[in-house]
Amino acid sequence: MNRRDFLDRTGRFSLGALAGVSVPFRRFLPAGLLPLPFTKASSETILPGKTGLVVLNDRPINAETPAHLLDDEITPAAKMFVRNNGLPPVLTDEDAANWSLKVAGESCVNPKEFKLSELKDLFPTYTYQLQLECGGNGRSEFYPPASGNQWTTGAISCANWTGVRLSDVLNHCGIDSSAIYVGYYGSDTHLSGDLNKVPISRGVPIHKALEDQTLIAWSMNGEEIPPLHGFPLRLVCGGWPASASGKWLKEILVRDRIHDGPKMGGKSYRVPCEPVAPGESVKDEQMCIIESMPVKSLITKPKTGLKLAIEEALEVRGHAWAGDNSVKDVLISIDFGKSWINCDLTHPVNRLAWQHWKTRIKFNQKGYYEIWARAIDDLGNSQPMVVPGWNPKGYLNNATHRIAVLVS
């Protein structure tokens, strides 16, 4: 793929396309940064139970949510992105009623197997709103292009999850002092159909597994988890790549080593330990596992491409999140980053939930504008103005979110 093809794919176009249209802050447009389009061909495909998602792959099913459809404070099932690595199991109500979870591993003192009903009876139940974001969200903006699903901004969600704390279950079974990691296995099938192959089996360090908000969940937004999202049981490890939150959960291993299941090694969900030049070859031993996701924001209103009368005030709003951290500030710019406007920002409803921001603006001149959103977390980390460090699989893009507005 050459650069022109790449720019076409990512929806950028040149200033020449704005012939006859005023660009009030054109002098502040960073060199090499191209304006956003006003119209973009829709690639929406009907996916049962979903509203307006864009399907990126159908084997396995992967689909993202356009930014303007993520305006809900609590992500509904119909608007939650789909990320699968294998083929989801086809389950009946009887399967769910008889579902069991095995807890074992080198560092599990007393391995046990729990029926779903036993989990509900033995342990306290908790509900948390938790952010789940694909590690590759934003991959489509990397150049040279990175392999994998070409996510734009929509592989993020923040639903309510109900279940039991993983820590309560692990402590019930006993955690040996040698424990350093927890890994999962689900009941999805490898794309090849070979039942001896596992499509994905990832995990998290023991400290993440023992956080209060790390759940073994059976409910999403007060209802059964939809089949595409892990019915009847899944892990939810908010703030880390969603691949750590195993679906169709069948087994948890307490490990005395870093979990070594499929997609824990190589380039999968790992980035170079040290910065590399774009396109540079990186050896597997020079890659580090992704843990907490970076600070990020999303503009959910208005939808990009809005046409607005100059006398109208415009409400701009969205969400912001920061992996294991919280967001301290969200700012927007309408002059290509020359100046910034502070937004009203809510506190998270609980740790690892996203936060909501909003502000109102008026434009003093007709023409083409871009609204940029930038979040800063409680440690002072800020979204970069451009795509951050290139990596072979296009992970962790937390560049400033941009939308286009035409004022007339």
Same domain, 328 and 247: no
- DSSP assignment letter at 365: S
| Model confidence at 3: pLDDT above 80 | no
Q: Which of 257, 289, 321 is the last residue of a domain?
A: 289
Same domain, 183 and 314: no
Tokens, residue 19: 């012939």
Same domain, 373 and 403: yes
Same domain, 260 and 321: no
pLDDT of residue 41: 45
Same domain, 264 and 310: no
The neighbouring-strand residues paired with 161 are 128, 220
pLDDT (mean) for 107-129:
98
Same domain, 160 and 234: yes
> CATH number, domain at 256?
3.90.420.10
State how many domains the chain has: 2
Q: Which of 260, 289, 318 is the last residue of a domain?
A: 289
pLDDT of residue 9: 45
- Is residue 249 situated within a structural domain? yes
Instruction: Kindly give the residue spans of alpha helices, DSSP state H, lying in 39-111.
Output: 93-97
Structural domain harbouring 377? 296-407
pLDDT (mean) for 76-103:
94
Q: Which of 271, 289, 307 is the last residue of a domain?
A: 289
- Is residue 27 situated within a structural domain? no
- Is residue 98 situated within a structural domain? yes
pLDDT (mean) for 230-237:
98
Distances in Å between the Cα of 318 and the Cα atoms of 146, 365, 395 are: 27, 24, 22
Same domain, 149 and 210: yes
pLDDT (mean) for 378-398:
96
What percent of the chain clears pLDDT 70, i.e. is strictly above it?
Answer: 92
3-state SS assignment for residue 42: coil
Q: How confident is the model at residue 34 (pLDDT cuts 50, 70, 90)?
A: confident
* Ranges 45-54, 196-205, 266-275: which has the least confidence: 45-54
Same domain, 314 and 252: no
Distances in Å between the Cα of 121 and the Cα atoms of 95, 345, 363 are: 19, 39, 58
What confidence tens digit (pLDDT) does each residue in 313-368 have? 999 999 999 999 999 999 999 999 999 999 999 999 999 999 999 999 999 999 99
Place of tokens 């809900």: 72
Same domain, 228 and 305: no
- Is residue 51 situated within a structural domain? no
